[in-house]
């Protein structure tokens, strides 16, 4: 890394407390194993607009090292240095690295240019976010591991979800020599196109609550596009249509390919009625159908992907992204994050939105898919690469990763409201065609029925993909399935097999349906 500076290096003794966010509750405290924590920065520079940028990273080097290196992926717009714990990775003895992808949400924040998304106005900062910061930070971490322990890491792994999944795909596609095994969950490998879908969804649902006189949508009303009982009614229709296709009606739609839009709509239409908390209007059904068909231009050309009908549609993990929480808080993440990301990071030239979330909603409602969507592929000074070239990592050609023996696991939730599982499966089909039908020898996609974005939903969303890729790399054992757990409170509720696409789990009709061994 150029101009690498170690800002801090501290020994953390056994039992050092670390606060972990509580995700809706108070922070939790965990005790860490003995390790050296290194904080560093590099490539510090002043951009043309006066913003000061640098790549910041954190590396944790455990005393009880297992001989492995683990790179922890980021999330969202990045801009914060990850905790370098990677779940229980540090506890298991991995040396763990995390970074901020070249911008700092606190320092690089301009209210007049989309707040912390201002980095999208700078070509280098956008490229660092997309992929350019990845390989140099990995190489720095690997060099420090060798210096600290006196020997190189025996095996090198990456694990991330969402933007972290996009980063895993960037390593597999652009830097295939770096890692032996990669977990790229819910991969945002088509981020610019998924941002178009965020604009599209906001329009479909916003029109349901638009002011009849002006057509304007107020941010506080977007969450009223569907009531909680209405979304439960949609889930009920999906379950009626598709739940039993995997051999058991248990609230999980396991056989996704048999759950066609026509089957679901046939169960939805009888739920239309003039009033009532769980009634659906024809306009609401059409808005959902349009959303799940994905964004299109005036000629009907698909601009992203279709979606599966989400069996977790009534879960907070789906509605918070699409329309916002019940009561309007938090507002829709498609507006809070999606609009500003679309305007800053995924458009050339970038567009400065008015301050505040209402400005993002107005931008989304006015977005023209004929005029504005091509901005994801546009190159214009000072940008020498388009947003798609910088951030899109959807290349199905993994031949270099395959040749060097790399292994890739891709878990993805069926009810993910941000990145379409249908797009991930289409990508696998393309990769399999290029690999002459042998892609499963080095990459496996695991759909997770009911799961929202990276977790949550009515799903068996607890599984250990990292352990699976380690066994694949080090013992030559490809994962025939992942055993996943549904947890309610502190007690496991049931386990289920997650099968690699195109397989799906089916109940054997004899054993305990709560036991994965019966599937």
- pTM of this structure: 0.96
Q: Is the pLDDT of residue 70 over 80?
A: yes
Kindly report, residue by residue over 9-68, the tens digit of the pLDDT: 999 999 999 988 766 667 789 999 999 999 999 999 999 999 999 999 999 999 999 999
Q: What is the pLDDT of residue 327?
A: 87
| Pairing mode of beta strands 68-72, 5-12 | unpaired
> What band does 151 get if pLDDT is binned at 50, 70 and 90?
very high
Q: What is the pLDDT of residue 15?
A: 95
Residues 6+ apart with CB under 8 A from 446: 409, 410, 411, 412, 463, 465, 479, 482, 498, 499, 500, 501
Residue carrying the six token digits 């994965």: 516
List helix spans (H) across 180-270.
Answer: 191-206, 219-222, 228-242, 261-268
Q: What is the pLDDT of residue 272?
A: 81
The predicted model gives 261-278 an average pLDDT of 85
Q: What is the pLDDT of residue 23?
A: 61
- Report the SS3 class of residue 273: coil
The predicted model gives 495-504 an average pLDDT of 96
CA dist., res. 431 & res. 401, Å (int): 12
Spatial CA neighbour of 64 closest among 149, 146, 178, 142: 149
Active site residues: 162, 416, 453
| Pairing mode of beta strands 155-161, 68-72 | parallel
The predicted model gives 93-102 an average pLDDT of 98
CA dist., res. 181 & res. 172, Å (int): 9
């Amino acid at each position: 890394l150029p101009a690498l500076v170690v800002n801090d290096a501290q020994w953390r003794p056994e039992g050092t407390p670390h606060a972990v966010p509580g995700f809706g509750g108070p922070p939790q405290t965990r005790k860490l194993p003995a390790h050296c924590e290194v904080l560093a920065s590099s490539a510090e520079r002043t951009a043309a607009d006066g913003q000061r940028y640098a790549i910041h990273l954190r590396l944790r080097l455990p005393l009880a090292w297992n001989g492995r290196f683990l790179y922890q992926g980021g999330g969202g717009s990045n801009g914060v240095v990850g905790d370098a714990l990677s779940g229980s990775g540090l506890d298991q003895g991995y040396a763990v690295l995390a970074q901020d992808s070249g911008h700092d949400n606190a320092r690089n924040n301009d209210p007049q240019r989309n707040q912390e998304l201002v980095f999208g106005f700078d070509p280098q900062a956008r490229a660092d976010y997309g992929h350019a910061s990845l390989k140099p930070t990995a190489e720095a971490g690997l060099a420090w591991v060798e210096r600290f322990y006196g020997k190189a890491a025996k095996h090198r792994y990456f694990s991330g979800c969402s933007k972290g999944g996009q980063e895993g795909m960037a390593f597999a596609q652009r830097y295939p020599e770096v890692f032996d095994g990669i977990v790229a969950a819910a991969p945002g490998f088509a981020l610019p196109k998924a941002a178009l879908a965020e604009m599209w969804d906001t329009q479909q649902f916003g029109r349901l609550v638009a002011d009849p006189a002006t057509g304007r949508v107020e941010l506080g009303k977007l969450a009223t596009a569907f009531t909680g009982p209405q979304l439960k009614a949609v889930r009920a229709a999906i379950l009626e249509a598709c739940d039993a296709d995997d051999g058991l009606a248990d609230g999980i739609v396991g056989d996704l390919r048999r759950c066609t839009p026509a089957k679901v709509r046939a169960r939805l239409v009888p739920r239309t009625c003039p009033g009532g908390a769980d009634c659906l209007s024809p306009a609401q059904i059409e808005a959902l159908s349009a959303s799940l068909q994905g964004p299109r231009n005036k000629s009907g050309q698909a601009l992203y992907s279709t979606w599966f009908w989400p069996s977790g549609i009534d879960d907070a993990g789906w509605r918070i992204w699409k329309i916002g929480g019940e009561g309007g808080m938090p507002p829709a993440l498609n507006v809070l994050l999606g609009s500003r990301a679309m305007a800053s990071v995924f458009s050339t030239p970038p567009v400065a939105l008015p301050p505040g979330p209402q400005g993002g909603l107005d931008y989304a409602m006015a977005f023209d898919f004929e005029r504005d969507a091509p901005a994801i592929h546009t190159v214009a000074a000072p940008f020498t690469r388009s947003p798609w070239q910088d951030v899109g990592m959807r290349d199905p050609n993994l031949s270099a990763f395959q040749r060097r023996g790399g292994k890739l696991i891709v878990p993805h939730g069926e009810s993910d409201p941000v990145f379409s599982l249908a797009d991930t499966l289409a990508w696998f089909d393309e990769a399999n065609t290029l690999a002459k039908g042998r892609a499963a020898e080095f990459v496996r996609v695991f759909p997770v029925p009911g799961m929202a974005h990276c977790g949550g939903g009515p799903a068996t969303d607890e599984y250990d993909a990292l352990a699976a890729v380690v066994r694949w790399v080090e013992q030559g054992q490809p994962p025939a399935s992942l055993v996943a757990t549904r947890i309610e409170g502190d007690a496991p509720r049931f386990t289920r097999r997650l099968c690699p696409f195109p397989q799906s789990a089916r109940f054997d009709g004899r054993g305990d349906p709560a036991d994965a061994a019966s599937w």
